[in-house]
Amino acid sequence: MLYQLKNQQDEVLRTEAFNEKPADPVGKGWRWVEYTPPPPPEPTYEERLAKCYAERRQAYVTEADPLFFKEQRGEVPAGTWLAKALEIKLRIPKP
Mean pLDDT score, 45-54: 97
- For residue 29, name the pLDDT band (cuts at 50, 70, 90): confident
Rounded to whole angstroms, the Cα distance separating 90 from 95 reads 12
User: Pairing mode, if any, of strands 31-35 and 12-17?
Assistant: unpaired
Residue 18 CA to chain centroid, in angstroms? Answer: 27
Instruction: Supply the pTM of this predicted model.
Output: 0.62
Q: Could you count the other beta carbons within 10 Å of the beta carbon of residue 5?
A: 19
Predicted confidence (pLDDT) at residue 28 exceeds the cutoff of 80: no
At CA 32, angle to CA 28 and CA 33, rounded to 5?
Answer: 135
Type of residue found at 48: R
Q: Residue 24's pLDDT is what? A: 83
At 7, the pLDDT band (50, 70, 90 cuts) reads: confident
Is pLDDT of 12 > 80?
yes
